[in-house]
């Protein structure tokens, strides 16, 4: 059984707005990735690929069978692992995941991490519903497990997911290999580190209710409430804190119903009073993402990523899949091959420096913001101006006022990464 204590880091928040909650005809997705404060998150672009029949794929801990074709993806991930905390694919599918503990035991045996499942779903699913089926199929075959942080002490959890595309969103919550899903076709929804699907299930594992009944968690009479049946009877301290964040996030979405934009989502991710923007002891928001998924299939989906900690003092930079889409070198962490502590057994016995260039320069900027008021204000103004430049470019693009060459569109994220890096130099 995995170790857990009240001080164990375990928080994240995901949000989605589906028209008419959105101010424009678009689905809007957002996530804060809250992780150990010294963990580096990189942004990785992986092009679409074709793969030989019978080939295998190495994930963080285990191998799975590869599929013939994989979609192009943009991923924001802890740089030590294969999967991702959040990301999108070329078809406008976005996914974020959350840690969750339920009555089902969490084992330390190595299987697929929730973050591996997320990346596999993006590479293989061309819609939110198809991506959900990818996750549940792999979960059934391989299970989920393994340490979720770069530390000799195992830290294991089960996962919930928020999946979105241009037309709808799905909440997928798991307990071991069991799962429940809820479809969102209108309105706003958020998830935090707790089960939130009650009686409104849209799909479920065929053994979910029989298992709950066999365990004595449901009497088989009346409506089946997934969260009530599978949630821990005595919630740990941080799970109680997650309830407060969940309620605060839901309120922030309700206050903006009908007027939710990408900027509104960025504001929610920056909300420190609620704890959604995390900076608590050994834990903080290490990266953030907001995606704009227009209903009009002729318009491109736009994904804003920070690649740096603390969204309140970071720049959301636009990424668009296109001909010129490529890896931005300044947000790619160094690699260590067979000598990587995650590859050598026993794992995580040593530490390596995974900081990428933008992360290093951003850390210096954060230090100046805290120690030198005038210089700090100048740097924050540069960040805000650069972010506004990106937002205005996207507005012009979606309004038809700006028609860049495909190569220019694909290189948008890299251009903004370079501008931000120069601003800190």
Which residues participate in catalysis according to the annotation? Answer: 12
Are 311 and 270 a contacting pair, CB within 8 Å?
yes
DSSP 305-333: E--SS-GGGS--EEE--STT----GGG--
User: Which residues, other chains included, contact 374 with Cβ-Cβ below 8 Å and sequence gap of 6+?
Assistant: none
Q: Please, is 216 exposed, middle or buried when counting C-beta atoms within 10 Å of its C-beta (0-12, 13-18, 19+)?
A: exposed
Q: Residue 48 corresponds to which tokens in the numbers above?
A: 């679409």
CA 39 → CA 78, 116, 283, 295, distances in Å? Answer: 7, 17, 9, 35
Rounded Cα gap, residues 234 and 199, in angstroms = 21
Cβ atoms of residues 29 and 290 within 8 Å: yes
Q: Which of 61, 35, 103 is nearest to 288 (CA)?
A: 35
**CB 55 within 8 Å of CB 32:** no
**Cα separation of 194 and 98, whole Å?**
8
Listing DSSP states for 279-298 in one string gives EETTEEEEEEEEEEEESSTT
- Find tokens 């100046």 and name the residue: 368
- Which parts of 15-127 fold into alpha helices (H)? 114-124
Half-sphere exposure of 155 (CA within 13 A, CB side): 16
């Amino acid at each position: 059984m995995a170790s857990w204590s009240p001080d164990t880091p375990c928080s994240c928040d995901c949000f989605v707005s589906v028209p008419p909650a959105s101010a424009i005809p678009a689905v809007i997705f957002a996530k804060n990735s809250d992780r150990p404060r010294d963990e580096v998150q990189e942004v990785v672009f992986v092009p679409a690929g074709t793969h030989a029949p019978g080939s295998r794929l190495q994930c963080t801990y285990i191998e799975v069978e590869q599929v013939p074709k994989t979609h192009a993806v943009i991923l924001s991930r802890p740089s030590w692992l294969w999967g991702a905390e959040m990301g999108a694919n070329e078809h406008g599918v976005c996914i974020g995941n959350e840690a969750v503990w339920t009555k089902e035991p969490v084992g330390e045996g190595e299987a697929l991490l929730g973050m591996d499942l997320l990346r596999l779903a993006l590479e293989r699913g061309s819609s939110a519903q198809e991506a959900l089926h990818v996750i549940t199929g792999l979960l059934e075959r391989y299970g989920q497990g393994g340490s979720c942080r770069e530390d000799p002490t195992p830290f294991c959890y089960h996962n919930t997911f928020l999946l979105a595309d241009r037309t709808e969103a799905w909440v997928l919550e798991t307990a071991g290999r069991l799962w429940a899903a809820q479809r969102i076709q209108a309105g706003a929804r958020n998830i935090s580190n707790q089960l939130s699907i009650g009686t409104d299930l849209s799909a479920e594992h065929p053994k979910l209710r029989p298992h709950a009944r066999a365990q004595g968690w449901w009497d088989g009479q009346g409506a089946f409430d997934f969260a009530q049946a599978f949630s821990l009877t005595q919630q740990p301290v941080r799970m109680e804190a997650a309830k407060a964040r969940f309620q605060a996030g839901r309120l922030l979405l309700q206050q903006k119903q009908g007027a939710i934009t990408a900027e509104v989502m960025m504001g929610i991710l920056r909300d420190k009073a609620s704890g959604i923007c995390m900076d608590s002891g050994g834990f903080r928001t290490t990266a953030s993402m907001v995606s704009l998924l227009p209903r009009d299939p002729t318009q491109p989906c736009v994904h804003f990523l920070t690649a740096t900690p603390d969204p309140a003092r970071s720049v959301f930079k636009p990424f668009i899949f296109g001909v010129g889409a490529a890896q931005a070198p300044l947000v790619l962490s160094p690699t260590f091959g067979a000598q990587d502590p995650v590859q050598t057994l026993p794992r995580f016995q040593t530490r390596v420096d995974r900081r990428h260039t933008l992360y290093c320069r951003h850390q210096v900027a954060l230090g100046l913001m805290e120690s030198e008021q005038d210089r700090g204000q100048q740097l924050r103004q540069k960040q805000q101006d650069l972010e506004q430049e990106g937002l205005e470019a996207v507005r012009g693009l979606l309004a038809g006022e700006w028609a860049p060459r495909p190569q220019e569109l694909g290189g948008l994220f890299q251009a903004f990464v370079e501008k931000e890096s120069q601003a800190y130099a």
